């Protein structure tokens, strides 16, 4: 690295008033990104997809998670499973396009076939022409490698190392905080699904999402009805952080139509909404009538895809006649997220500054961001 004055991670682990941020290497150095893959993404519960994209038994979706080829499959029982997308024979990639698997997952190379639950079930000619078994090929030992996975609010999480506590324990504090919202959600459809490609390290998207400090300058439109002083910080050390507003009041339709609310919410939610980053890579928004999730897919240490999906509280909100309202809501969110692009990309560029020392946090305004830095640094020092 060509840095000077690089603060060590001990500085990040200080209280917010005296802490520095993560060193530049955590944003611009491929080697550090390699360690981060193991310590941050593989050792924890990371988001890799959405249940709606494997909607039916047999739906299969290949994806690359920091270079690791995954195959997300909904099996015949409706269970979502996440496999390594690699054949157990000679390591051929199994699927390269999303598809509906009719019978079995067939390797295109020598046609070993796996059930949707990952069991190796046929091995043609493996014992010689016309002989489909061999004593050395023990099928029950050669199923697809499956990773621990969990679906919450339609978000598919994986723990690649297999060492993390159960998801319910990992996300316990957030599940508790939002337990009132433990209700069915309904994806809005095509207009409620979009992605943004940003030229920055994934962490900068988290850091920016956590804080409301930038609101007056980056989101003047939003700030006109949901001002800086209408926001509060949310900080749960070692788990999540973000911000909330106390003036959520959607005005989407002149004719008086609106989206129906979740059932039995506390009166607080009449006007509150919360925006929380569940570490490492999912950004969540919750409102009385809809939710959204932004899954951050790091392509490498300086390129990230933000997958945005919007869900509604009631089926009545996803009908065709509400399509224009959903479109409006999606456009509103998209415009807000687009406003953030130049700052997350700008921070990436700024981190090429060889004398940047990780930066200084405002104790009053940057605590949610520091909470995230502290969590990341703790993964490296644990
Ligand atoms: S590599 Fe898959 S069957 Fe040979
Ligand atoms: Fe923003």
- Would you say the CATH fold of 183-352 matches that of 47-159? no
Residue 261 in this model has a pLDDT that exceeds 90: yes
Residue with CA at minimum distance from ligand 1 atom 3: 110
For the CA of 112, the closest atom of ligand 1 is 3
Q: List, for residues 52-62, the tens digit of each pLDDT value.
A: 999 999 999 99
pTM of the model: 0.96
Mapping DSSP onto H, E and C, the string for 197-255 reads EECCCHHHHHHHHHCCCCHHHHCHHHHCCCCHHHEEEEEECCCEEEEEECCCCCCCCCC
How sure is the predictor about 82, in pLDDT bands with cuts at 50, 70 and 90? very high
C-alpha–C-alpha distance, residues 20 and 108, integer Å: 51
Confidence category of residue 222, pLDDT binned at 50, 70, 90: confident
Residue 3 has pLDDT above 50, yes or no: no
CA of 327 to the centre of ligand 1 (A): 45
For residue 218, what pLDDT is reported?
94
Predicted confidence band of residue 6 (pLDDT cuts 50, 70, 90)? very low
pLDDT confidence tier of residue 256, bands split at 50, 70 and 90: confident
What kind of architecture, by CATH, is found in domain 183-352?
Alpha-Beta Complex (3.90)
Task: Indicate if the pLDDT at residue 335 is higher than 60.
Answer: yes
Q: Which ligand is nearest to the CA of 88?
A: 1
Distance 192 CA to ligand 2 centre (A): 19
Is the pLDDT at 110 greater than 60, yes or no?
A: yes
> Is 209's pLDDT higher than 60?
yes
CA-123 nearest atom, ligand 1 = 3
Find the 3 Cα to ligand 2 centroid distance in Å. 29
Determine contact, residues 318/186, Cβ cutoff 8 Å: yes
CATH of 47-159, one of 1.10.3720.10, 3.40.30.10, 3.50.50.60, 2.102.10.10: 2.102.10.10
Instruction: Output the pLDDT for position 236.
Output: 96
> What integer pLDDT is reported at residue 253 of this predicted model?
80
Residue whose C-alpha is closest to residue 51's, from 140, 150, 126: 150
Query: Which atom of ligand 1 lies nearest, measured to the CA of 92?
Result: 1
Which of 110, 120, 121, 139 most suits a substitution to test ligand 1, by most atoms within 8 Å of the C-beta?
Answer: 110
Per-residue tokens: 250: 């959607």
Band of pLDDT at residue 221, cut at 50, 70 and 90? confident
Least-confidence region, from 4-13, 32-41, 292-301, 331-340: 4-13
Note the ligand closest to the C-alpha atom of 144.
1
Residue with the nearest Cα to atom 4 of ligand 1? 110
With the most atoms of ligand 1 within 8 angstroms of its CB, the residue from 104, 108, 109 to mutate is 109
What value does the mean pLDDT of the chain take?
95
E strand segments, the chain: 46-50, 59-65, 68-74, 80-84, 99-100, 105-106, 113-114, 120-122, 146-152, 155-159, 186-187, 193-198, 231-236, 240-245, 273-278, 282-286, 290-300, 303-312
Residue nearest to atom 1 of ligand 1 (CA): 90
Task: Give me 216's structure tokens.
Answer: 């007056």
Is the Cβ–Cβ distance between 177 and 284 less than 8 Å?
Answer: no
Q: Are 288 and 312 in contact (CB under 8 A)?
A: no
Ligand closest to CA 228: 2
The rounded Å distance from CA 208 to ligand 1 centre is: 44
- Residue found under tokens 């990230």: 304
The ranges assigned to domains in the chain are 47-159, 183-352
Which of 85, 86, 90 should be mutated for ligand 1, with most atoms under 8 A from CB? 90
Confidence of residue 5 (pLDDT cuts 50, 70, 90): very low
The residues lining ligand 1, judged by C-beta closer than 6 Å to any ligand atom, are 87, 89-90, 92, 107, 109-110, 112
Task: Give the range among 116-130, 167-181, 238-252 with minimum mean pLDDT.
Answer: 238-252
Neighbours of ion ligand 2 (CB under 5 A): 340
Run of H or E residues at 336: helix 323-350
CA of 123 to the centre of ligand 1 (A): 9
Spell out a b/e string for 171-201, using b for 16 or more CB atoms within 10 Å of the CB, else e. Answer: beebbebbeebeeebbbbbebbbbebebebb
The pairing of strands 193-198 and 240-245 is: unpaired
Q: Which atom of ligand 1 is nearest to the CA of 111?
A: 3
Average pLDDT of 14-32? 97
Q: Is 4's pLDDT higher than 60?
A: no
Residue-level length of the chain:
382
**Mean pLDDT within 53-81:** 97
Q: What is the mean pLDDT of residues 20-35?
A: 97
Q: How far is the CA of 320 from the centre of ligand 2 (A)?
A: 30
Give distance in angstroms: CA of 142 to centre of ligand 1: 12
Split at pLDDT 50, 70, 90, the class of 2 is very low
- Whether the CB-CB separation of 90 and 109 falls below 8 Å is answered with yes
């Amino acid at each position: 690295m060509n840095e000077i004055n690089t603060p060590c991670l001990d500085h990040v682990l200080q209280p917010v008033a005296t802490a520095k941020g993560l060193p530049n290497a955590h944003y611009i150095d491929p080697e550090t990104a390699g360690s981060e893959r193991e310590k941050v993404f593989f050792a924890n519960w990371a988001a890799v997809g959405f249940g709606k994209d494997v909607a039916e038994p047999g739906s299969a979706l290949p994806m690359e998670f920091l270079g690791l080829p995954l195959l997300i499959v909904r099996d015949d029982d409706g269970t979502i499973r996440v496999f390594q997308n690699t054949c157990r024979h000679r390591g051929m990639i199994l699927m390269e396009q999303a598809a509906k698997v009719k019978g079995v997952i067939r390797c295109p190379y020598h046609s070993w076939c796996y059930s949707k639950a990952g069991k190796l079930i046929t091995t043609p000619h493996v014992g010689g022409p016309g002989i489909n078994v061999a004593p050395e090929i023990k099928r029950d030992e050669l199923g697809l490698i499956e990773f621990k996975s969990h679906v919450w609010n339609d978000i598919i999480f994986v723990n690649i190392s297999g060492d993390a506590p159960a998801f319910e324990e990992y996300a316990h504090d957030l599940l508790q905080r939002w337990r009132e919202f433990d209700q069915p959600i309904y994806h809005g459809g095509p207009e409620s699904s979009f992605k943004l490609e940003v030229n920055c390290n994934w962490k900068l998207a988290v850091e920016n999402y956590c804080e409301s400090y930038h609101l007056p300058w980056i989101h003047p439109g939003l700030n006109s009805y949901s001002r800086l002083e209408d926001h509060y910080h949310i900080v749960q050390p070692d788990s999540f952080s973000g911000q909330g507003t106390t003036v959520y009041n959607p005005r989407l339709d002149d004719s008086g139509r609106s989206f129906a609310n979740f059932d039995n919410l506390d009166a607080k939610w009449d006007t509150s909404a919360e925006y929380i980053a569940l570490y490492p890579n999912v950004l969540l928004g919750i409102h009385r009538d809809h939710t959204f999730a932004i899954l951050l897919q790091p392509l490498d240490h300086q390129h990230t895809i933000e997958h945005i999906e919007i869900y509604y509280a009631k089926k009545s909100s996803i009908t065709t006649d509400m399509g224009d309202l959903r479109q409006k809501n999606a456009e509103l969110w998209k415009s807000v997220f687009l406003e953030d692009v130049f700052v997350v990309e700008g921070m990436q560029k700024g981190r090429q500054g060889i004398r940047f020392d990780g930066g200084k946090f405002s104790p009053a305004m940057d605590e949610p961001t520091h909470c995230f830095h502290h969590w990341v640094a703790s993964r490296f020092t644990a």
